[in-house]
C-alpha cells in the first residue's frame, strides 16, 4: 500500500454500537416470530464499511438513507459505517446516526489540505471559470464546495485514517432509496467473484464540465503505460479505440468497491496526474468520470460489476430490476416504468464484455445484455 507520501493528520473517531433493537416486550406483535427475518445472517463478515460524506445539516436526509440501507440489507449483516465531514460532527448527528446503524459508527474530520485549493492552482483563474459557468447555467458551475467534494471523493476519502481499517466500501449519500430486499452479502460477492468496482446506474457526463479530462487522461496513459491493463473496459469509455471520450460514466453516488485498488500505485498516479492538471478547479471534473475512467483503463472488464439486482434511487434516476417475479420475491417497491436502464441516455448497455457487434447497433441497457451474450430479461419491452 503506497502510503509513504500520504499526509498524516488527526481524526475525530467515535465508535459506538447501536442500541439493541430486539429488546421488545413479549406478546406485543401479532406476527409469529418464526416468520420474521433474523436480526443477522450467520457467517463470516468481510472487512468492509459503508462510507458517507455529509455535513451536520444533512442529518435527517442521511437518516432516511441509513434506514433504507438497514431495512433492506444491513440489519442482516451489521456492517460498520464511516461518516466524513470537512467540519466536526455535532452531537445530534452522532446520536441520530448511531441509533439507526446496526454496526459500529465512526466519525472523521477531513483535513484542510484535502478540502482546499492546492498550491499550484491559480485561484483568480479558477474564480473566472466559476463565473463563466454560472453565466452558462452549468449545474454546480459556480460552486467551490462542490469542486472540493469531487476532488476529495476522487483522491482522498480512501486515504482517511478511518478508511485505512477496511478493504471494501459501499458509498451512500443522503436521500437515496433502496427498493428491494438484498439477502446476500454484497461485499462477499465482490470478493468471491474477483470484482473491484461496481455500479447500478450509468449515464453521460455534462460535456461542459470536462472539456479536457480525456486529454489529461491520454497524457497519463502516455507517461504511465504500465498502469493500463489488457482486456480493460475501454469500449465503455470510447467508441473509437480511445481517441475520444464518449462521456459515459458510472454514477458514483452508489458504488461498492475495493479500497486496496484505490490505494494502489496505479490509481494514486492517475489521480495525482489529474490533480496537477487543474481540471477539478479550472473546469468542474466530477468524481464519477474520474472513477469510471480509472476503472475502465486500469481494471479488467470482468472486474467491474453491474448490480442489476440492487434497486436504487438517487434524484432524479431510478434503477428498478426488470422482471416481475424478481421484484415480487424481493419485496420491491419501485415502479418498473421508472427504470432508467432502457433510457437512451443510459450507458449501462455499453458495459463491455463480448465483442459481438459495434456499440452503435444498440441503445439503452440492451447493449449491456447483447455485449455480455445475455438474453434480455422478460418484460423489458414494457419498460422502454
Active centre residues (catalytic): 255
d(CA 139, CA 278): 19
Q: Do 40 and 77 contact (CB within 8 A), yes or no?
A: yes
d(CA 154, CA 272): 10
Q: Do 229 and 299 contact (CB within 8 A), yes or no?
A: yes
CB atoms within 10 A of CB 63: 17
The grid coordinates of residue 152 equal 476529495
Residue 325: is it exposed, middle or buried by C-beta count within 10 angstroms (0-12/13-18/19+)?
exposed
Map residue 302 onto helix, strand or coil: helix
CA distances for 149 relative to 46, 280, 295, angstroms: 28, 10, 20
CB atoms within 10 A of CB 302: 14
CA distances for 371 relative to 251, 275, 294, 351, 354, angstroms: 20, 34, 21, 8, 5
The grid coordinates of residue 336 equal 418498473
Q: Do 170 and 195 contact (CB within 8 A), yes or no?
A: no
d(CA 9, CA 20): 34
Instruction: Residue 51: name the closest of 152, 148, 157 by CA.
Output: 157
Amino acid at each position: 500500500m503506497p502510503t509513504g507520501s500520504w499526509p498524516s493528520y488527526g481524526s475525530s473517531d467515535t465508535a459506538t454500537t447501536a442500541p439493541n433493537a430486539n429488546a421488545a416486550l413479549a406478546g406485543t406483535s401479532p406476527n409469529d416470530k418464526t416468520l420474521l427475518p433474523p436480526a443477522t445472517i450467520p457467517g463470516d463478515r468481510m472487512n468492509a464499511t459503508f462510507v458517507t460524506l455529509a455535513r451536520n445539516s444533512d442529518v435527517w436526509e442521511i437518516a432516511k438513507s441509513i434506514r433504507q440501507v438497514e431495512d433492506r440489507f444491513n440489519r442482516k449483516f451489521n456492517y460498520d459505517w464511516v461518516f466524513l465531514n470537512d467540519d466536526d460532527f455535532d452531537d445530534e448527528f452522532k446520536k441520530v446516526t448511531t441509533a439507526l446503524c446496526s454496526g459500529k459508527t465512526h466519525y472523521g474530520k477531513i483535513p484542510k489540505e484535502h478540502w482546499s485549493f492546492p498550491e499550484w492552482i491559480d485561484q483568480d483563474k479558477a474564480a473566472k471559470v466559476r463565473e463563466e459557468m454560472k453565466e452558462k447555467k452549468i449545474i454546480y458551475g459556480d460552486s467551490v464546495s462542490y469542486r472540493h467534494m469531487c476532488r476529495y471523493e476522487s483522491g482522498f476519502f480512501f486515504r482517511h485514517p478511518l478508511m485505512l481499517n477496511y478493504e471494501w466500501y459501499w458509498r451512500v449519500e443522503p436521500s437515496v432509496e433502496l427498493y428491494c430486499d438484498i439477502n446476500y452479502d454484497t461485499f462477499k460477492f465482490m470478493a468471491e467473484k474477483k470484482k473491484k468496482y461496481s455500479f447500478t446506474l450509468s449515464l453521460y457526463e455534462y460535456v461542459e464540465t470536462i472539456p479536457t479530462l480525456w486529454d489529461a487522461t491520454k497524457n497519463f496513459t502516455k507517461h504511465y503505460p504500465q498502469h493500463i491493463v489488457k482486456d480493460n473496459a475501454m469500449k465503455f469509455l470510447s467508441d473509437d479505440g480511445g481517441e475520444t471520450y464518449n462521456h459515459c460514466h458510472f454514477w458514483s453516488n452508489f458504488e461498492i468497491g475495493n479500497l486496496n485498488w484505490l490505494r494502489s500505485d496505479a490509481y494514486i498516479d492517475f489521480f495525482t496526474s489529474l490533480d496537477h492538471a487543474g481540471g477539478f478547479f479550472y473546469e468542474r471534473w466530477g468524481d464519477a468520470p474520474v472513477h469510471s475512467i480509472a476503472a475502465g483503463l486500469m481494471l479488467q472488464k470482468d472486474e467491474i460489476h453491474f448490480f442489476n439486482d440492487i434497486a436504487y434511487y438517487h434524484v432524479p434516476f431510478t434503477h428498478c430490476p426488470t422482471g416481475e417475479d424478481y421484484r415480487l420475491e424481493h419485496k420491491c417497491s419501485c415502479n418498473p416504468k421508472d427504470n432508467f436502464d432502457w433510457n437512451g441516455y443510459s450507458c449501462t448497455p455499453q458495459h463491455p464484455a463480448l465483442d459481438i457487434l459495434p456499440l452503435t447497433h444498440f441503445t439503452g441497457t440492451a447493449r449491456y445484455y447483447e455485449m455480455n451474450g445475455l438474453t434480455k430479461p422478460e418484460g423489458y419491452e414494457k419498460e422502454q
